[in-house]
Structure 1
Amino acid sequence: MSSELFIGLMSGTSLDGVDALLARFPADGTAMQVLGHLHQPFSKPLRDELLALNSPGDNELHRAALAGNAVARAYADVVAQLLEACCIQAAQVAALGAHGQTVRHRPGEFDGCGYTTQLLNGALLAEQSGVAVACDLRSRDVAAGGQGAPLVPAFHRAQFGQVGRDIAVVNIGGISNISLLGADGSTLGFDCGPGNCLMDAWIQEHLGHEFDASGAWAAQGQVSTALLDRLLAEPFFTLPPPRSTGRDLFNRAWLDSRLQHADLRQEDVQASLLELSAQTIAQSLLQHSPNTTELLVCGGGAFNTQLMTRLQALLPHTQVMTSDARGLPVMQVEAAAFAWLAMRHLRQLPGNLAAATGALGPRLLGALYPA
């Protein structure tokens, strides 16, 4: 049984904390079984430091190293809680897949290879959790000429794909990324653009809320066509797949440069940011998989009622629903994907999908720190 148990740990661009999931992946290849899940928010000092490290600053190497240690300790605490809740010993778990916290994502830039940086001290996590750690899961794909993202399409195919039906899965975290699961067995995936990151930043600044619950504040505003046009003029949105992005591009400086001379109510800006997220997701689907019958939404954005309503309005011929409807709750999908990547690493199987990332081919992803 021990060789079939894996943990996935995910902390994404939204910086809301860690999702941890314990799953069994039977050796015979039958369906994954979720045994437990929990979410643990980051402490405010850690969240603030991780957000600050997304931008150049003083003494970055020292601060990043300490933040990587802090992320490892936060992860280890979540693992301990998850194992206790599931009555499982660390020794029974084959490995955990840990994402780490992305603070830079610049694949293919500068020297032809570029880099992607996720803060996490994998050795410390292995020491403190007592579980083998598969981490740094994006770098090998980047080294092979890929974007290093998204890594979830292969898992989405395994979990949600159906022969004879075009299905899409969109994860709306800080950034939104989509997986297109073709009826013919083909799979494509790429980043659409900002998911929640700009909306969260705007409401945090103006109302002091962590996020716009249900999109209620955005629903009070009116979309500014002029602002939306300036936002949509970003060249990233016209790039063909494979493509990936992050806070390196979609940040407050990017938004501020497009808000210059705009005389708008705060809620109108929020409504326009929500419309940006909805339209970039919808256009990604309509351009690359127009016959999709079902769009499964996961991630924190799935709780944004206004965003879900706009997606359905923009995609009248596609049924928009949460991943819960297909057996995996919205906040478990990404953590499950990283448990799946740990399983793939330990079983010496490739974890990337070259059609999604643009890598030269399938690669074994990650580095392993034994327990």
Structure 2
Amino acid sequence: MSKGPVLLTGSAGFIGFHTARRLLARGETVIGVDNLNSYYDPALKQARLERLQAEPGYIHHTLDLADRPGMTAVFAGHAPRRIVHLGAQAGVRYSLEHPESYVDSNVVGFLTVLEGARAVQAEHLVFASTSSAFGANGALPFSVRQGVAHPMTVYAATKIANEAMAHSYSHLFGFPSTGLRFFTVYGPWGRPDMALFKFTRAILEGRPIDVYGHGEMERDFTYVDDIVDGVIAALDRPAAADPDWDAAMPDPSTSGVAPWRILNLGAGRREQLMRYIAVLEEALGMKAELNLMPVQDGDVARTEADVTETRAALGYAPSTSIEVGVKRFVDWYRDFYGV
């Protein structure tokens, strides 16, 4: 593969920030694109961005993905042939009230990325998908060989659309693409709308925490460093058409007509939400006051990633326990906010 620059969308976001730092640490030039929107505290995004801009290999464009002329100019100006697309309107619950923002960012925005990849004849496009794609599926652990025809939210539907759009472009124009379904990512510099961040802030401020599903939910909590391991490994190993693919019994995670694939990135185990809270209490040295609530619209009861295919394709080996990961988050939170 070429050693030209890597285009990274969502570079001031949670996972994008960590991915950018990993790429910069190995000597890559990173072209970052982020619109720095106000979905959550822009000051946190700015703090991430300032740390990236202190690195000599980082070049930033504050730009909306749906800005077609702007994105065309970025691709024309830098000619990045490796692309990591992490920029998106995130959040499951927000999509219940603002579906239009998900279509603008996740569908229209992804189309500009695909067009850019086409224009530069990309060597590989790696893009973020989500465990929410599995929707109403009940068979655990979730395998990429399962169908995803029953999304529960507009957010999930836009990510499934991304997977299908990437397949069509890879088929028509020949560039490899890999979609990565992330499972409940947490860690330092995390998003304030995620459970760990909200729980930590409320406990430290002496407020009760809202625990949905009456605390009976289970999640495949995945530490951000393990996610980044998978993103970088995927980038370095472009997808290829599957020579064993059977059109009469099509595997939904690979393709015989396109250099395209879908992989899970998760810890490969599920944890009870109440245990996650107990680990947080231990890290904080404080007890939480629980406000037990019913399941919210769009939520699923449990998630767990089958990472068999990811191990085989990427050598992926997530290793961070929630005890280690939650403590690292708490240490970062106390330091960043001076608590």
TM-score tier, shorter chain, comes to 0.3 to 0.5
Instruction: Pick 1 or 2: higher relative contact order, CA cutoff 8 A, min separation 6.
Output: 1
TM-score, normalised to structure 2's length? 0.35
TM-score, normalised to structure 1's length? 0.33
